Amino acid sequence: MKRSSLVLLSMFLVFTMFLAACGGGEVKNTPKNESAKTEDVKPEEPKKEEPKKDVSLRVFSTFGGTDAARESFQAALDEFSANNPNVKIENDTMSANDDGFRTKVNTDMTTGNEPDLLFYFVGADAQGFVDAGKVVPMNEILEADAEWKAGFTPSALENTRQADGNIYGIPLTGFYEGLFVNKQLFADNNLELPTDWDKMKKAVETFAAKGIIPLAAPFDQSHYVVEHFILSAAGPESQAKGLSGDIDPNWEKGYAAMKELYDLGAFPKDAATIDLGMASNYYGEGKAAMILEGSWAFGGFTDQGVKDNTTVIPFPVVPGGVGSGNDVVGGFGSGFYLSQSTFDNADKKDAAIELLKHMTSTSVIQKIATANGGTPAASVEITGLAQAQIDGFAMAASSASINNPVDSRITPETFSTLRAGVQQVVTGKKSPADALKEAKAIEDANK
């Protein structure tokens, strides 16, 4: 063997012994001057996300008809759809001025046709389907998403708690109600704003004599008439009790005051046949001097002159009433409910919760509140409001009390009876006491 071969063999043996001593023959690192054989190593392919399943969700709300926030509500749904193309949303709406929406909701909730998300009243209106387990308590879902929960004002969430202490309806915007007044019509007729009963009576007599509707209100859909006259007459504590226990005689004073104004010509001549929508048209077109309505009504007024000359004030105390004259109906009376059947559906659950969170996000709340002039359920700034809306917020802020509507304290059947009693009392067919006894009987039977 040649010397050169022996040298090479010796070097190979020494190198082999060195590797064995260092790692049992296992090469730990590739020397820098050697190229790794990469042709045998296949790079890992990125994991492909499973395509999301197509989901259809039905959302029912009263953001329909002439609601001032209708377009903003639809835009918020469209925004979610654009970011989640696998989710198809059915925007099922009715007007809040159509009492049929209550019937629809009650029918859907009792026949297994629950919407996936329901925007509806809290309190007595919701108690039936809450007790039936048709909707999900939202407490744990709120606690699990601290950022989402922190976006709400605490008072807004507290205002939506049901009798069992749970939150089922997630608020969007709140509201105030009051006496909407056309300041120009009052000024043109040398009248003071109706801040007390005597001024109210004088205004009614003056406008009625001139063919101007003093107070635009229907008899059948007399929601706001009932709420304000009872609160004015009975005060916040009695109003909050509803018809539990004995009937408060002050409630009779409220109905008696309705008749007093009726006898002075306060209501439209067709009050027996019109609905809330037509009453709003009378005021919004400048044909009526006053209307009892809520913060959402402003967007439905069609005449710009009416909008520019409207202010909102508390309803005055009726004769013998114990209200302060500065008590306001308001709060957070509605919210988004998540159907229990949707929550139990593995295909729908996550998409429905994400849609709920989107529709109650601070950005959507801000847009809805800007559109309808409602009190935002989040700490957001609302700009660009008309003076009447600013007046409404100021009225609520400076009020002696803010009270949930009386229909949140009694059953829907009872409230329907109270409303039906308005026409019977003002036309003399029933006494206030008899109308209230009938409502009380209905309440006791449905409790």
User: Taking 90 as the threshold, does the pLDDT of residue 300 lie above it?
Assistant: no
Q: Are 68 and 299 contacting, i.e. CB atoms less than 8 angstroms apart?
A: yes
Q: Which pLDDT value is given to residue 5?
A: 36
Higher per-residue pLDDT: 32 or 368: 368
**E strand or H helix at 393, and its extent?**
helix 387-397
Q: Are 369 and 376 contacting, i.e. CB atoms less than 8 angstroms apart?
A: yes
Q: Evaluate the CA torsion angle 258, 263, 267, 272 in order and state its sign.
A: positive
Higher per-residue pLDDT: 48 or 302: 302
Tell me 170's DSSP state. Answer: B
What percentage of the chain carries pLDDT values higher than 90? 76
Q: Are 343 and 349 contacting, i.e. CB atoms less than 8 angstroms apart?
A: yes
Q: Which pLDDT value is given to residue 51?
A: 67
Q: Which pLDDT value is given to residue 192?
A: 98
Q: Which pLDDT value is given to residue 49?
A: 59
Q: Which pLDDT value is given to residue 351?
A: 98
Higher per-residue pLDDT: 400 or 11: 400
Q: Which pLDDT value is given to residue 48?
A: 56
* Cα distances (angstroms) measured from residue 388 to each of 116, 275, 306, 356, 402: 36, 24, 10, 31, 19
Higher per-residue pLDDT: 126 or 95: 126
**Token pair recorded at residue 90:** 């059915």
Could you give the CA distance from residue 45 to residue 66 in angstroms, rounded to a whole number? 54
Could you give the CA distance from residue 215 to residue 266 in angstroms, rounded to a whole number? 5
For residues 189-212, b (16+ Cβ closer than 10 Å) or e, as one string? eebebbbebeebbebbebbbeeeb
Averaged over 42-48, what is the pLDDT?
A: 59
Q: Which pLDDT value is given to residue 41?
A: 53
User: Taking 70 as the threshold, does the pLDDT of residue 287 lie above it?
Assistant: yes
User: Taking 70 as the threshold, does the pLDDT of residue 289 lie above it?
Assistant: yes
The pLDDT confidence band at residue 9, using thresholds 50, 70 and 90, is very low
Q: Which pLDDT value is given to residue 44?
A: 62
Q: One-letter amino acid identity for 224? A: Y
For 302-333, the pLDDT digits (tens) are 899 999 999 999 999 999 999 999 999 999 98
Q: What average pLDDT does the structure give for the chain?
A: 89
Beta-carbon contacts of residue 135 (< 8 Å; ≥ 6 apart)? 118, 126, 129, 168, 337, 338, 339, 340
Least confident of 21-35, 192-206, 208-222, 409-423: 21-35
Higher per-residue pLDDT: 397 or 336: 336
For 250-286, the pLDDT digits (tens) are 999 999 999 999 999 999 999 999 999 999 999 999 9
Q: Give the residues across from 120 on adjacent strands.
A: 335
φ, ψ (nearest 5 deg) of residue 76: -65, -40
Q: By three-state DSSP, how is residue 161 classified?
A: strand
**E strand or H helix at 412, and its extent?**
helix 412-426
Model-level pTM? Answer: 0.76
Q: Which pLDDT value is given to residue 4?
A: 36
Higher per-residue pLDDT: 50 or 428: 428
Rg (CA), the chain: 33
Q: Which pLDDT value is given to residue 82?
A: 97
For 154-199, the pLDDT digits (tens) are 889 998 999 899 999 999 999 999 999 999 999 999 999 999 999 9
Could you give the CA distance from residue 357 to residue 379 in angstroms, rounded to a whole number? 16
**Pair type for strands 310-313 and 401-403:** unpaired
* Cα distances (angstroms) measured from residue 408 to each of 133, 159, 414: 19, 12, 11
* Cα distances (angstroms) measured from residue 334 to each of 97, 191, 331: 15, 37, 9
The pLDDT confidence band at residue 384, using thresholds 50, 70 and 90, is confident
Higher per-residue pLDDT: 406 or 66: 406
For 28-41, the pLDDT digits (tens) are 344 444 444 444 55
Q: Evaluate the CA torsion angle 67, 68, 71, 74 in order and state its sign.
A: negative
Nearest to 280 by CA among 305, 303, 257, 264: 303
The pLDDT confidence band at residue 50, using thresholds 50, 70 and 90, is low
**Token pair recorded at residue 11:** 């070097």
User: Taking 80 as the threshold, does the pLDDT of residue 236 lie above it?
Assistant: yes
Higher per-residue pLDDT: 287 or 47: 287
Averaged over 391-412, what is the pLDDT?
A: 92
Spell out the alpha helix ranges (H) of 169-275. Answer: 183-188, 197-209, 223-241, 249-263
